Amino acid sequence: MTTEIKLPFDQEYLSSFSKDMNEPSWLTELRLKALEQAEVLPMPRPDKTNIKNWNFTQFEKHIVSSEDFNDVSELPEEVQALIDLEKNKTLYIQRNNRPTFLAVSNEVKEKGIIFTDIFTAAREYSDLLQKYFMTDAVKVDEHKLTALHAALLNGGVFLYIPKNVEVDEPIQSIFLHDDKDANLFNHVIVVAEDNSSVVYVENYISTVDPEHAVFNIVTEVIANNGAKVQYGAVDNLAHGITTYVNRRGVAGRDARIEWALGFMNDGNTISDNTTNLVGDGSYGDTKSVVVGTGDQKQNFTTKVVHFGKSSEGYILKHGVMKDSASSIFNGIGKIEHGATKANAEQESRVLMLSEKARGDANPILLIDEDDVTAGHAASVGRVDPLQLYYLMSRGIPQKEAERLVVHGFLAPVVEQLPIEGVKKQLVEVIERKVR
């Protein structure tokens, strides 16, 4: 079934936008073709959530113009709390669609690492970007939203780690949303060449709440042979934003991809997080935490696909649902034929804090090979009264005891985030949402 949805932008607009941005012709062509595809491709169909009435395609503005910040001290408090330029010297800040701040440490510079906004990457590293932009991980023609993403791309960052380069300090991006008219088609690419390693952390943060906005976010992580990528993200977008976020990784031989994802959006969200373990001995680990509040509807599909022999995949998801929020947690471990000795493990736990909240954990194992191991665990329940009794028996009041249990429940991801400010802010957001 194809639904006829009139897209808000046409070929003429996109050609001229691409030209204004000085984009290479391959990208202009890719945009135009993607726009055609977006018109005919179907919407994605997240399992168990009907998104027929969600608006991912109708909005007014493709680009908003935002001023630069003259100085770090002008950044909103919420952003300042996330950064510590003394410790984490490599930082990119984007204000709506505008790349507004970029600092790169000497270490990162000297090691030949490329870290720049996506527009600059298209101009200055055109061949490299072309090689990885929606080729290996996410494809343009998967469905209407991937195509629309490619067509309307209006923000993002490109991170490239050369062969054998290891960088210890975390590399940080902040995507600030502070204009009600903004819509974001943000693309993040992390390429780690053979035997390199990198830690990347990003925050999406709203300081305004629009009537309605569309965010369509794609991340592609390419970990080539023997590379290691740790990817941390905290999404904290406003209630009026409908979000589609697709974070996908491809791991080569003996490569590792570790995700730590905090989903703290206030609006309706569809998240697809897939790790393709292509190489033998590759390793994928996904930890995500979710807090659902208000009347929010969300769908989280976490998938690890095993192609490589002896590949290992771990999925851990913890969700807390309150008010009348509802969430679907689909966990998929897929082992392809030939991926002998693969191991697919997953665990989904949902904690309900109110009668009206809903949470469904759907663990799925799809196995097409005999010589493998796999396991799953899932539970949906309330805060354990015996845990509360135990904590209260030490003098801790019930509210505080509940807070401790919920924090503990979400700790697996919080602990994993390598930047202190980001960790602290996630704890604060959780605190605010759960209270």
Nearest to 296 by CA among 260, 272, 320: 320
Nearer to other proteins, 378 or 392 (CB): 392
Token pair 């663990």 is found at 363
What is the distance of C-alpha 92 from the center of its chain? 16
Nearer to other proteins, 102 or 404 (CB): 404
Rounded Cα–Cα distance for residues 350 and 406 (Å): 11
Token pair 């009668």 is found at 355
Nearest to 187 by CA among 31, 314, 403: 31
Nearer to other proteins, 112 or 397 (CB): 397
Closest separation in Å from C-beta 394 to other proteins: 4
Among residue numbers 405 through 434, which ones bind other proteins (CB under 8 A)?
405, 407-412
Nearer to other proteins, 168 or 385 (CB): 385
Rounded Cα–Cα distance for residues 14 and 147 (Å): 14
What tokens were used for 328?
Answer: 């679907």
Number of residues that bind other proteins (CB under 8 A): 24
Closest separation in Å from C-beta 37 to other proteins: 44
Closest separation in Å from C-beta 409 to other proteins: 6
What is the distance of C-alpha 346 from the center of its chain? 19
Closest separation in Å from C-beta 410 to other proteins: 7
User: Would you state the torsion angle of the CA atoms of residues 125, 152, 51, 323, taken in this order, to the nearest 10 degrees?
Assistant: 80
Closest separation in Å from C-beta 261 to other proteins: 17
Among residue numbers 220 through 259, which ones bind other proteins (CB under 8 A)?
none
Closest separation in Å from C-beta 411 to other proteins: 3
Report the DSSP beta bridge partners of residue 100.
none
Rounded Cα–Cα distance for residues 276 and 45 (Å): 20
Nearer to other proteins, 251 or 410 (CB): 410
Closest separation in Å from C-beta 264 to other proteins: 17
Closest separation in Å from C-beta 423 to other proteins: 13
Closest separation in Å from C-beta 433 to other proteins: 16
Nearer to other proteins, 355 or 385 (CB): 385
Rounded Cα–Cα distance for residues 197 and 199 (Å): 7
Nearer to other proteins, 13 or 390 (CB): 390
What tokens were used for 85?
Answer: 């330029």
Q: What is the contact mask toward other proteins in residues 325 to 364, using x (rule: CB under 8 A)?
A: ----------------------------------------
Nearer to other proteins, 13 or 389 (CB): 389
User: For 390-421, b where at least 16 C-beta lie within 10 A, e where not — what string?
Assistant: ebeeeeeeeeebbbebbeebbebbbebbbbeb
The answer to whether 38 touches 144, Cβ cutoff 8 Å, is: yes
Among residue numbers 279 through 318, which ones bind other proteins (CB under 8 A)?
none
Say how many residues make up the chain. 435
N-term to C-term CA, the chain: 43
Rounded Cα–Cα distance for residues 142 and 234 (Å): 25
User: Would you state the torsion angle of the CA atoms of residues 40, 46, 52, 56, taken in this order, to the nearest 10 degrees?
Assistant: -70
Among residue numbers 370 through 409, which ones bind other proteins (CB under 8 A)?
384-387, 389-398, 400-401, 404-405, 407-409
Nearer to other proteins, 368 or 428 (CB): 428
Q: Give the residues lining the site for other proteins (CB under 8 A).
A: 384-387, 389-398, 400-401, 404-405, 407-412
